[in-house]
Amino acid sequence: MSDVMSSDEIEFDDDDVIENATLCEACGDITEHEILKEKKVGDGRDLLLKCISCSSITTLNIRPPKLIRIPFILTEGPNSQKITIDIDNDEEFRIGDVFDEDDKLWSINQILISGDRKAKMAVASEVTSISALRTDMVIVKLTMTRGEFSDSQSITVEHGKTFTAGHLMDHAGETWRIRAIHTGEGRTMKGTVESQFIKRIYLHEPPNPEHFEPKTPRERRQAWKEGRLGYNPNPIVPKEVTKKRVQPSNKRKKKRPRN
């Protein structure tokens, strides 16, 4: 027999939903209370409460959390800036938390507490400083190879932007071919990778467009058939692209005179 109750067998107890619930020290549990008196104190309130279960009277002081200033080091690409943000003293921070600041998204990558110790999680009152990286934009490193010379640069792209090995991409006013993509687990020379998973992109200068131009009559005929030369019902091979010493195959031979 199954121990799982069907939806028809499940009944909800209205007593599970209680109002003005708080800890009653006499009952030792969270119970419903009646508000006998309310007094505003600054930004908070003082409540005189009566426990519905045991009728004990208690006072509850409600105050907004105290704000403390925490230094934040925000890194965006090669640039970093230090700012201070007012935070509730009971707020918790964890590595990987994402927050909004200056209409940008930032991900916490380091939390320092007293003694410059690193922590994976800490309450705001314990924190001495927090470092965060911009997460809606990603820095992608590039290695560009032209002949025997290579140069390294980096670009800032949107989180989730894809790059495909073997495809062409424009950078710094030039067109490059993506030869390989390094993801940290190894290089791949095919496939598509999102920017946040890329460690480095290897770019090679693509061949000159003239490299792809048909040079022989056969190549031109094939290019015409494929439509790469536009519509030309009677293709004519320009002399400047015809190889030397190549005689047209359709030229008729002269007859030798009879003796």
HEC sequence for the chain:
CCCCCCCCCCCCCHHHCCCCEEEECCCCEEEEEEEEEEEEECCEEEEEEEECCCCCEEEEEECCCCEEEEEEEEEECCEEEEEEEEEECCCEEECCCEEEECCEEEEEEEEEEHHHEECCEEEHHHEEEEEEEECCEEEEEEEEEECCEEEEEEEEEECCCEEECCCEEEECCEEEEEEEEECCCCEECCCEEEHHHCCEEEEECCCCHHHHCCCCHHHHHHHHHCCCCCCCCCCCCCHHHCCCCCCCCCCCCCCCCCC
* Whether residue 81 is found in the same domain as residue 127: yes
* Whether residue 227 is found in the same domain as residue 192: no
* Whether residue 145 is found in the same domain as residue 189: yes
* Whether residue 220 is found in the same domain as residue 193: no
Task: Provide the pLDDT confidence category of residue 103 given band limits of 50, 70 and 90.
Answer: confident
For position 90, what pLDDT does the model report?
Answer: 86
For position 12, what pLDDT does the model report?
Answer: 40
Say yes or no to pLDDT of 7 above 50.
Answer: no
- Do the domain assignments include residue 254? no
Other CB atoms within a 10 A radius of the CB of residue 110 amount to 13
* Whether residue 74 is found in the same domain as residue 54: no
End-of-domain residue from the set 135, 150, 185: 135
241 neighbors 215 (Cβ within 8 angstroms): yes
- Do the domain assignments include residue 234? yes
- Do the domain assignments include residue 188? yes
* Whether residue 27 is found in the same domain as residue 38: yes
Maximum pairwise Cα distance, the chain: 141
For position 120, what pLDDT does the model report?
Answer: 93
Say yes or no to pLDDT of 11 above 70.
Answer: no
Q: What CATH number has the domain bearing residue 45?
A: 2.20.25
* Whether residue 142 is found in the same domain as residue 107: no
- Do the domain assignments include residue 226? yes
For position 105, what pLDDT does the model report?
Answer: 87
Q: Provide mean pLDDT across the span 29-54.
A: 87
- Do the domain assignments include residue 90? yes
Write out the residue range of the structural domain in which residue 159 sits: 138-204
End-of-domain residue from the set 109, 135, 161: 135
- Do the domain assignments include residue 106? yes
- Do the domain assignments include residue 170? yes
- Do the domain assignments include residue 194? yes
pLDDT in tens, 117-164: 999 999 999 999 999 988 888 889 999 998 888 999 988 888 889 999
* Whether residue 216 is found in the same domain as residue 197: no
Mean pLDDT rounded to a whole number for the chain: 80
Residue 31, beta-bridge partner list:
22
Question: How many domains is the chain built from?
Answer: 4
For position 222, what pLDDT does the model report?
Answer: 76
Say yes or no to pLDDT of 10 above 70.
Answer: no
> For residues 214 and 174, which has the higher predicted lDDT (pLDDT)?
174
Say yes or no to pLDDT of 9 above 70.
Answer: no
pLDDT over 90 percentage in the chain: 26
For position 122, what pLDDT does the model report?
Answer: 94
Cα angle 152-153-155, degrees, rounded to a multiple of 5: 150
Nearest Cα to Cα of residue 151 among 169, 168, 176: 176
